[in-house]
Amino acid sequence: MTALNLATQIPSQINTLEKLHMWSAQALFAINTSLTVVEGVGYTERAAQAGLFWVAADSKTRGIFRVSLAIDSSYLSATGKPWTFAQELSTTAIPVNFSSN
């Protein structure tokens, strides 16, 4: 898995769950831009996608993010929080520019 040091790598300006989600999705996209995964029979998709889009209907820019993670099958019989069974996309280090304000 891509290692993460909570104390030093998440910028101090991230103070909401929404900002954390955007940061995480963009970091995964930045280090896995060409990685594809199988999501169904004969269907592959990029593992992580992130983009900012202008939505004219409400005159706002929206961050739209998509991440496809494999989940360890032991989640069916084990105890623990669902996110503890997420499998790594890669072991690439988080780019330095993601760790600063």
**Tokens encoding 20:** 């954390």
Write out pLDDT tens, residues 7-40.
899 999 999 999 999 999 999 999 999 999 999 9
Q: What is the pTM of this model?
A: 0.88
CA distance 81 to 33: 28
Quick: pLDDT tens for 52-67: 999 999 999 999 999 9
Domain map (residue ranges) of the chain: 34-92
The phi, psi pair for 66, rounded to 5°, reads -145, 130
How far apart are the C-alpha atoms of 40 and 28, rounded to whole Å?
21
| H helix runs in the chain, sequence order | 17-31
Given this model, what pLDDT does residue 18 score?
96
d(CA 90, CA 31): 8
